[in-house]
Chain A
Amino acid sequence: MRMKLRADDRVFEVTTGGDGANGGMGLSIDGHPSEVCVIASSAGRHSVNAGQRSHVLYTAPAGSGGTWVWCEGQAWRVSDAESEGRSTGRGPSGLGAGVTPPMPGVVVRILVEVGQRVTRRQALVVVSAMKMETSLVAAHDGVVTGIRTSVGTSVRPGEILVEVQPDEPGGDDARR
């Protein structure tokens, strides 16, 4: 079978099918053949061989159908790229019409009002998490059409805090 997976920010195609030459999982990663032999697998701990080397993988559920995979000091969030939205990559995500926090936090300041004109990269709202403040900025020039939060509110990634109506691309302003 074929599937499209996302590991952190990397989207790739995996094709599985048949045994590999050494009796392990035959995998094709973006068209390149690969093989992973599972030596033992129990309760989130997996001992595997790949490319002549043995590795220990640890896995745990990551919510929304994703999986955390740990290997030798690196942690990857792996998910089905087709069934999941765009906002599960690492770091800030630009949702077209508004701003959402990159991590859970508490709103400490709202810097704009409904109806206000804002420019790209202008700070709209400040969110605090773990003693660190992060400014969430406008993804484009536009007008604030809604503020859906208030100071002191706990917020999560995916929640739109401030809505910005983008200027029409190719409109009069852009042409002039």
Chain B
Amino acid sequence: MFRSVLVANRGEIAVRIIRTLREMGIRSVAVYSEADRQSLHVATADEAVCIGKAPPADSYLSIDSIVAAARQCGAEAVHPGYGFLSENPRFARAVAGAGLAFIGPPADVMERLGDKTAARRLMHERGVPIIPGMTRPSDDPELLAAFADEIGYPVLVKASMGGGGKGMRVVGCARELREAAALASGEAQAAFGDGAIYLEKYLDRPRHIEIQVLADALGNTVHLFERECSIQRRHQKVIEETPSTALDAGLRDRMGRAAVTAAKAAGYVNAGTVEFLLARDGSFHFLEVNTRLQVEHPITEMTTGLDLVRLQVEIAAGATLPFRQEDVSTRGHAIECRLYAEDPGAGFLPSPGRVALARMPEGPGVRLDSGITTGSDVPIHYDPILAKLIVHASDRSAAIARMLRALEECVILGVRTPVDYLMDVLRLAPFAAGDTHTQFLEEHMADWRPAPPNLALAAAGYVLERRAMQAGGVVGTGGGAEGLDANSPWRRLGAWDLGGRS
């Protein structure tokens, strides 16, 4: 086993990986940019190396700096986390080239799966169902039109090298196609440096169902069941859960087998995720393979009882999978909510800044993977994810109730978070009914506004905080034996002295 592993990431995912390394007795090395010197992942690791300036291109995306840091501190392996360089084959190759183990799939597997149309061709050949559509990109309007006619409108125009919804457009009829294709291609060119596009059949309100797979270098491949990630906003997952309400045992088995077939077709090694769209008629279609750990991996960990990061490290060190498919089972229901620094009351604008207070939820069945603490800076340069809140309970309705309770306990002040928005999503009747799909938030939450403040409590909080600051910090607590009169703020807090008396 490795003695030392470098974590090429930041924030909550770096902290999460470091925790497992500690449990495994492996020395952890964090890397950080100048903006992250004081951050939690740096404080959590055994050792930390500064790799450059705040902009990602100068630090967390700098392959040379990270490989040099790994060499400098004697790390034997590199865990990329997710985002940044995690799906970059050049990085995987550079790490391997430096004689270090890359904790993830080999570079050629990433390349094979990174090209969306090539991946679709590969899966189609191996009998994994794909969404009806083109298996080669094209920008020829005639060819696109002929193809759209063949599969029938509406169609989806997608960027071949795309992701995150960029360069993606729904086209309802033939006369809209030419312009939509040109716009999508332009967007793809700007975002990915490659304007190649292709067409797919547009599925109405599908579910996003993904299957966690795990493969060792000897070719043993298993799946760890599904995660439903249909609750998305602008193609970003917001709430994930497992099991999905849409899968029965038969469908679960068929999708699991398809995911294992997909992983084997690509020669997959380590942890990966095969994403599918589940249509309303019950048919499922291959979307793509994410060649890394997913943000939502904890819900699988909660229901299977496995530590995916530990398994990733063991596989990268050459270990055989410690179980077979028939040994894996799940218990209960798990839900994850992503806590971003964003303001749902102002169009989900990013909300960087300093965390004035962070008090995290506790209690039965609650897990928090956080990258912040009171006093943390949330820089403007990086992804806005602050923490992931995960709950596990015996069944789905208990899990929803537990998540609502945990969100209510989740105090983050100083930056805006979507806690109130998430609670309102979880309280929706269609969510409780399990009637989720990828347009769910557009359909049910488009007109959402934050509840108006409770003015009496807002005023009381303001007064109490101001008073505490004037008293130099701590206000006396009321003793249990004190009567109501003794609790009167007029007695205990003195006068309400706010910028002068009236």
A residues with a Cβ closer than 8 A to B are 1-3, 5, 7-8, 10, 12, 14, 16-19, 22-25, 27, 29-30, 34-44, 46, 48, 50-51, 55, 57-62, 67-76, 78-80, 83, 90-92, 102-106, 128-132, 134, 154
- What residue in chain A is nearest B479 (Cβ atoms)? A40
How distant is the Cα of A93 from the Cα of B66 in the complex, in angstroms? Answer: 41
Residues of A within 8 A of B484 (CB): 22-23, 37
B498, chain A: closest CB distance, angstroms: 6
- What residue in chain B is nearest A20 (Cβ atoms)? B488
Residues of B within 8 A of A79 (CB): 462
How distant is the Cα of A69 from the Cα of B461 in the complex, in angstroms? Answer: 6
Question: B448 at the A/B interface (Cβ < 8 Å)?
Answer: no
Contact between B455 and A10, CB atoms less than 8 A apart = yes
Contact of B359 among A25, A58, A61, A128 (CB under 8 A): A58
Contact between A23 and B411, CB atoms less than 8 A apart = no
Residues of A within 8 A of B324 (CB): none
Contact between A1 and B461, CB atoms less than 8 A apart = no
Contact between A61 and B465, CB atoms less than 8 A apart = yes
Residues of B within 8 A of A67 (CB): 461-462, 465-466
- What residue in chain A is nearest B500 (Cβ atoms)? A1
Contact of A130 among B384, B417, B456, B460 (CB under 8 A): B384
Contact between B350 and A130, CB atoms less than 8 A apart = yes
Interface residue ranges of B450-489 to A (CB < 8 Å): 450-466, 468-469, 473-478, 484-485, 487-489
Contact between B489 and A38, CB atoms less than 8 A apart = yes
Contact of B461 among A3, A42, A57 (CB under 8 A): A57
Number of A-B contacts (CB under 8 A): 226
Looking at B346, B350, B493, B499, the one whose CB has the most chain A CB atoms below 10 A away is B350
Q: Mark B342-382, 1 if CB is under 8 A from A, else 0.
A: 11011101111100110100000000000000000000111
Contact between A74 and B451, CB atoms less than 8 A apart = yes
Q: Enumerate 25 A-B pairs (CB-CB under 8 Å) in ascending A order.
A: A3-B498, A8-B450, A10-B453, A12-B455, A14-B455, A23-B487, A38-B460, A38-B478, A39-B487, A46-B464, A57-B464, A61-B469, A67-B462, A68-B413, A69-B458, A72-B408, A73-B419, A75-B413, A90-B343, A90-B345, A90-B346, A104-B353, A105-B352, A130-B384, A132-B384
How distant is the Cα of A62 from the Cα of B357 in the complex, in angstroms? Answer: 10
Residues of A within 8 A of B414 (CB): 60, 62, 68
Question: B72 at the A/B interface (Cβ < 8 Å)?
Answer: no
Contact of B468 among A12, A27, A44, A90 (CB under 8 A): A44
A125, chain B: closest CB distance, angstroms: 15
Contact between B477 and A40, CB atoms less than 8 A apart = yes
**Chain B contact patch, size range:** 35 or more
Looking at A17, A55, A92, A103, the one whose CB has the most chain B CB atoms below 10 A away is A103
Contact between B464 and A59, CB atoms less than 8 A apart = yes
Contact between B382 and A131, CB atoms less than 8 A apart = yes
Contact between A131 and B383, CB atoms less than 8 A apart = yes
A18, chain B: closest CB distance, angstroms: 8
How distant is the Cα of A32 from the Cα of B318 in the complex, in angstroms? Answer: 70
Contact between B464 and A58, CB atoms less than 8 A apart = no
Contact between B343 and A91, CB atoms less than 8 A apart = yes
Contact between B349 and A24, CB atoms less than 8 A apart = no
Interface residue ranges of B101-115 to A (CB < 8 Å): none
Contact between B457 and A154, CB atoms less than 8 A apart = no
Contact between B413 and A58, CB atoms less than 8 A apart = yes
How distant is the Cα of A30 from the Cα of B452 in the complex, in angstroms? Answer: 15
Residues of B within 8 A of A71 (CB): 454, 457, 461
Contact of B459 among A5, A51, A90 (CB under 8 A): A5
Residues of B within 8 A of A74 (CB): 419-420, 450-451, 453-454
- What residue in chain B is nearest A12 (Cβ atoms)? B455
Do A60 and B353 contact each other (CB < 8 Å), given the known contacts A5-B459, A38-B464, A50-B456? no
B residues with a Cβ closer than 8 A to A are 341-343, 345-347, 349-353, 356-357, 359, 380-384, 407-408, 410-414, 416-417, 419-420, 423, 450-466, 468-469, 473-478, 484-485, 487-490, 492-493, 496, 498-502
Residues of A within 8 A of B460 (CB): 25, 27, 36, 38, 46, 48, 50, 57
How distant is the Cα of A22 from the Cα of B81 in the complex, in angstroms? Answer: 55
How distant is the Cα of A58 from the Cα of B458 in the complex, in angstroms? Answer: 10
Residues of A within 8 A of B458 (CB): 5, 7, 69, 76, 78
B462, chain A: closest CB distance, angstroms: 4
Residues of B within 8 A of A103 (CB): 349-352, 380
Contact between A80 and B382, CB atoms less than 8 A apart = no
B153, chain A: closest CB distance, angstroms: 31
Residues of B within 8 A of A25 (CB): 460, 463, 489-490, 496
Contact between B492 and A38, CB atoms less than 8 A apart = yes
A100, chain B: closest CB distance, angstroms: 13
A117, chain B: closest CB distance, angstroms: 27
How distant is the Cα of A91 from the Cα of B351 in the complex, in angstroms? Answer: 10
B66, chain A: closest CB distance, angstroms: 19
Residues of B within 8 A of A76 (CB): 453, 458, 461
Residues of B within 8 A of A23 (CB): 484-485, 487-488
How distant is the Cα of A24 from the Cα of B417 in the complex, in angstroms? Answer: 31
Looking at B351, B382, B464, B493, the one whose CB has the most chain A CB atoms below 10 A away is B464
Contact of A39 among B351, B353, B478 (CB under 8 A): B478
Residues of B within 8 A of A10 (CB): 452-453, 455
Residues of A within 8 A of B408 (CB): 72-73
Contact of B350 among A17, A30, A48, A105 (CB under 8 A): A105
Contact between B501 and A1, CB atoms less than 8 A apart = yes
Do A68 and B380 contact each other (CB < 8 Å), given the known contacts A22-B484, A132-B350? no
B374, chain A: closest CB distance, angstroms: 8
A111, chain B: closest CB distance, angstroms: 15
How distant is the Cα of A61 from the Cα of B120 in the complex, in angstroms? Answer: 53
B1, chain A: closest CB distance, angstroms: 35
- What residue in chain A is nearest B460 (Cβ atoms)? A36
How distant is the Cα of A57 from the Cα of B458 in the complex, in angstroms? Answer: 9
